[in-house]
Amino acid sequence: MKMRYTALAFAAAALVAGQSAWAGEPEAKKWVDSEFQPSTLNKDQQMAEMKWFIDAAAKLKARGVKDISVVSETITTHEYESKTLAKAFSEITGITVKHDLIQEGDVVEKLQTSMQSGKSIYDGWITDSDLIGTHYRYGKVMNLTDYMGGAGKEFTNPGLDLKDFIGTKFTTGPDGKLYQLPDQQFANLYWFRADLFARKDLKDKFKAKYGYELGVPLNWSAYEDIAEFFTNDVKNIDGKAIYGHMDYGKKDPSLGWRFTDAWLSMAGTADIGAPNGLPIDEWGIRVAADKCTPVGASVERGGATNSPAAVYALTKYVDWMKKYAPKEASGMTFGEAGPVPAQGQIAQQIFWYTAFTADMTKKGLPVVNADGTPKWRMAPGPNGPYWKQGMQNGYQDVGSWTFFKDHDANKTAAAWLYAQFVTAKTTSLKKTTVGLTPIRESDIQSKAMTDLAPKLGGLVEFYRSPARVAWSPTGTNVPDYPKLAQLWWKNVAQAVTGEKTPQGAMDNLAKEMDDVMARLERAGMAQCAPKLNKKEDPKKWLSDKAAPWAKLANEKPKGETIDYDKLLGAWKEGRVR
């Protein structure tokens, strides 16, 4: 009996030590040959990079690190990391990774809990760069610039090549330092059925009614005309109802993203400025002359959250959903509405994330041709009447690796290794072909992406064009993303149900945002806490020179469209449009 227990104990110990014992170059070679293709590196270069990871991990194992836990939201890219790359890292380095997948709202909630308690639940986090203003101000998150040059230098991959990442300007704080490492990114673009837009009978009918060509809308007026045309004039395609618009409106946290992901700036609410409007950003928050101190969201404090342009943006959202989308749309969440265009009854969608590309290209779908090419295309989203050249065009999500400052140093170093592993040149191109959320310029320009391009509906062309830098995440004006983001969906929902007018909903939202920022001002922050302007007559602030913009006499100018092939030509010539 004693011998049996000893044998069992030995077997258990061997199991725990197993991955560490077998970790090394043979395991790396197996993964390089079987999984990490295509890559922008050749196999010798990939093996050299893997050798660096093996050696770096050995130092941490010698310090007692056996495992780490990290977390991300649930999208295709992160599922690939959790199921495949975490296993590869564990086998190659001998450090086990538990990569949890949870809903985006839960990631933010757990992060907020960790910030409040001062104890990080995970060793590493993939959180949206939308939290950059929060991370900078609270001082709880590790600044990677200093870490890579100091305590983390020996664990920083010499082949990391930060300049190759396309999203680092979005993860840089007002102090010019990097706080997060991009892991995946996707844009919010316009989606349309190119096959229907190319039909001569529909083109002729549209031009006869509206006086201009059916094409990719450049402004919201054209989008509205096209929505009306398909819903009320075309009505049916191949015996099935067709709708000119798709959206979602259920009272749910995802309704907040529908707005904070730059809907107001698409309408033209913010100031001119890249990557975000200055001094007023796409949330309507104004910062002081130091470009860092928030001073208000309401127009009476110099903000724009309840300005005419913001109210127009909310009004159009509600009107279009009720008039041109399937009746179920207003009761759907983001997740429920996402798959609907793939079912074949939506002609266009103004607010569509490229993260859906992989799910929209599956063979057998009504929106995919027999040869695997899509019947649809993606293009830059149109802009509202308040929009001006030089303003942010739309939103881009940049999910990025984030680490707490005062966490266990060795666990942080191991999580930093894993973060670099899943974004390394050895693994990143294959990950890009799976999740279609590119982060590296070298991957975007690769032959593999050129070969995939015909089946991706414009994704590769967009990311190779200058348009991609005009789409940007939430910027540094937002002082506390978790606290402020939750105000949006509750207020917007009241406009959807008709409990409040769009003006009433935005007035209340602006007031609540000011109230939160006032509390942050009283509590203080590590740096750049809000310092609210005193309330004044809104007329003092409304202007035709800068945000908050005064109400336009005509909010529906003539519709303008562009031929999709001409748009592609502009991208190839280095223009946004």
Q: Are residues 216 and 354 in the same domain?
A: yes
Q: Tokens 């010499």 belong to which residue?
A: 158
Q: State the chain's mean pLDDT as an integer.
A: 93
Percentage of the chain exceeding pLDDT 70: 96
Residue 323 three-state SS: helix
Residue from 187, 222, 186, 220 nearest 563 by CA = 222
- Asked, for residue 560, whether it belongs to a domain, the answer is no
Output the six-digit token pair for 341: 């265009």
Residue 68 lies inside a defined structural domain of this protein: yes
Q: How far is residue 414's CA from residue 429's CA, in Å, rounded to a whole number?
A: 23
Residue 89 falls inside a structural domain: yes
Quick one: 272 and 328 in the same domain? no
The SS3 call for residue 558 is coil
Domain assignment present for residue 471? The answer is no
Number of domains in the chain: 3
Q: Where does the pLDDT of residue 459 fall: very low under 50, low under 70, confident under 90, or very high at 90 and above?
A: very high
Residues 157 and 122 in one domain: yes
470 part of a folded domain? no
Q: Are residues 34 and 130 in the same domain?
A: yes
Q: Which of 440, 465, 490 is the last residue of a domain?
A: 465
Pairing assessment for the beta strands 96-102 and 286-287 based on DSSP bridges = unpaired
Binned at pLDDT 50, 70 and 90, residue 440 comes out as very high
**What's the DSSP call for residue 143?**
P
Tokens coding 194: 């190119």
Residues 243 and 344 in one domain: yes
Q: Does residue 419 sit in the same domain as residue 433?
A: yes
Query: At residue 20, does pLDDT exceed 50?
Result: no
Query: Helix (H, G, I), strand (E, B), or coil: what is residue 189?
Result: strand
Q: Does 391 share its domain with 404?
A: no
Q: Is the pLDDT of residue 17 over 60?
A: no
For position 124, what pLDDT does the model report? 98
Q: Is residue 10 part of a domain?
A: no
For the cut 50, the answer to whether the pLDDT of residue 3 exceeds it is: no
**pLDDT tens digits for 160-216?**
999 999 999 999 998 999 999 999 999 999 999 999 999 999 999 999 999 999 999
Same domain? 162 vs 98: yes
Q: Of 410, 434, 465, at which residue does a domain stop?
A: 465
Q: How far apart are CA 124 and CA 183, in angstroms?
A: 12
Whether 414 and 495 map to the same domain: the answer is: no
What are the CA-CA distances from residue 321 to residues 28, 222, 244, 248, 560 (Å)?
A: 51, 16, 10, 8, 21
Mean pLDDT (whole number) for 413-420: 98
- Looking at residue 577, its pLDDT comes to 72
- Vertex 399: Cα angle to 569 and 374 (nearest 5): 40
Query: Are residues 101 and 114 part of one domain?
Result: yes
* Average pLDDT score over residue span 553-563: 97
Taking 60 as the threshold, does the pLDDT of residue 2 lie above it?
Answer: no
Residue 547 lies in a domain: no
Same-domain check for residues 77 and 157? yes
Least confident range of 30-39, 113-122, 209-218: 113-122
What is the model's pLDDT at position 71?
A: 98
The pLDDT-based confidence of 104 (bands split at 50, 70, 90) is confident
Question: Residue 97: its pLDDT value, please?
Answer: 98
CATH value at residue 431: 3.40.190.10
Q: Using CA atoms, how far apart are residues 207 and 240, in angstroms rounded to an integer?
A: 23
Q: Where is the domain boundary, 465, 496, 518?
A: 465
pLDDT digits (tens, 9 = 90+) for 486-535: 999 999 999 999 999 999 999 999 999 999 999 999 999 999 999 999 99
Per the CB < 8 A criterion, the answer to whether 390 and 272 are in contact is yes
Token reading at 73? 């939201």
State the SS3 of 434-490. Answer: HHCCCCEHHHHCCHHHHHHHHHCCCHHHHHHCHHHHHECCCCCCCCCHHHHHHHHHH
Query: Does residue 363 share a domain with residue 439?
Result: no
Residue 339 domain boundaries: 187-250+324-395+565-573
In a domain, 236, yes or no: yes
Reference 220, options 327, 332, 351; nearest CA is 351
Cβ proximity of 472 and 275 under 8 Å: yes
Counting every residue written for the chain, the total comes to 577
Using 50, 70 and 90 to split pLDDT, how confident is the model at 22?
A: low
Residue 13 reports pLDDT greater than 90 = no
What percent of the chain clears pLDDT 90, i.e. is strictly above it?
A: 89
Question: How distant is the alpha carbon of residue 478 from its chain centre?
Answer: 16
